[in-house]
Every structure is written in C-alpha cells, then in structure tokens.
Amino acid sequence: MRAFKFILSGLVAVFLVGCAGYHLGPVNGATAGAKSIEVQPFNNQTLQPRLGDAITQSLRERLQTDATYRLTTREGEGDLVVTGVIHQYARQGLGYLNTDVTTPENYRVDLVVHVTARDRLSNRLILDKDVRAHTFVHIGNDLASAERQALPILAEDLAQNIAELLTSGSW
C-alpha cells in the first residue's frame, strides 16, 4: 500500500510538472476575442486555379478555431485587416519512376505568399512578410487530380503558419 501511494504521488508530480508550461487562452497576453480580424480574399498571381479561395477559407477557419481574434464577416469592421498575394507555386520532383528516370512519381509543392496585416484605425503595419508552405504529392495516374487533392493540405499548412504569426505577437 505504501508503494502504491509513493507511485501515485510520483505520477501526480509528473503530471503537474508537465502542465506547468501550459497557458490557457491567447499566448500574446490579449483577452480572447477582444479584437476582431478581417481576412480579405487572397490575390492569386500564379497559374494554379482556386488557390486564392482555398487559402482564404483555410485562414478564416484556422483563426476561428484559434479564437484569439474574433473573425468579422463584413468588410470594414475588423480591427486588423489581413491581405495576401500568392507569388509562387512551384513543383519539385522527388521520386521518379523505375522505368523512366525523367518522369516524377512524387512532387514537393512549395507555396510563397506575401501577407500583410494592418491595424485599421492607426494604419500601422503589423505583419509584412513572405510566408511559405509545402506539401508532398504522389501523382498516381493524374497530376491534376493529385494536386487538386493536395490543395486543402497545402492551404491548411499556410493558414497555420500565418495564424501563428498573427496570434503570437501583441499589437
């Protein structure tokens, strides 16, 4: 019985130490939902279709899930306005077919988006940075279908990177 109490107290101590660094709510010290954010549609300057819509939607969903900022649905109401320009969508062959060393079987898809965030009232620039994301695509029989299926994963990776930049700083 004494050994059981000793082991139980050790487990409780490990649990409490493991939770010591956890922070409930936003990490930037702000009150959750105190400020609002507006995500304007991203401008797609690549030849890849539907990229701007997928990124805009993923970022809105990520910010809603994070809940550091309140997402506004009407234009002109957000305390912070986020815009983006998609500059680069690039494929790089990773794995090649055994029968043909010039035909890729797997790609790494890289995305570069210039993101800006401004405080609506002061017009102060909060974020002005190129943000990158990537994913891996197995081609199979059809490159277009494979890229279309990988698009939500790529958009989610980018949205996570942008959300981290927006929610980690204080403004």
Question: Does residue 22 fall inside a structural domain?
Answer: no
pLDDT digits (tens, 9 = 90+) for 27-60: 445 555 578 999 999 999 999 999 999 999 999 9
b/e 107-140 (16+ beta carbons within 10 angstroms → b)? bebebbbbbebbeeeeeeebbeeebebebebebe
* Tokens of residue 35, six digits: 């400020």
Question: Does residue 97 fall inside a structural domain?
Answer: yes
Is 106:134 a contact under the CB 8 Å cutoff?
no
User: If DSSP codes are grouped into helix, strand and coil, which group holds residue 143?
Assistant: helix
Q: At residue 90, what are phi and psi to the nearest 5 degrees?
A: -130, 140
- Residue 157 sits in which domain range? 32-168
Question: Does residue 129 fall inside a structural domain?
Answer: yes
pLDDT digits (tens, 9 = 90+) for 103-140: 778 899 999 999 999 999 999 999 999 999 999 998 87
Question: Does residue 111 fall inside a structural domain?
Answer: yes
- Count: domains in the chain: 1
Question: Over the chain, what is the mean pLDDT?
Answer: 84
Q: At residue 165, what are phi and psi to the nearest 5 degrees?
A: -65, -40
What does pTM read for this prediction?
Answer: 0.76
Question: Does residue 118 fall inside a structural domain?
Answer: yes
Burial class of residue 46 in the structure, from the number of CB atoms within 10 Å of its CB (0-12 exposed, 13-18 middle, 19+ buried): middle
Question: Does residue 15 fall inside a structural domain?
Answer: no
* Residue 152, domain CATH: 3.30.160.150
Q: At residue 157, what are phi and psi to the nearest 5 degrees?
A: -65, -45
Question: Does residue 95 fall inside a structural domain?
Answer: yes
Burial class of residue 103 in the structure, from the number of CB atoms within 10 Å of its CB (0-12 exposed, 13-18 middle, 19+ buried): exposed
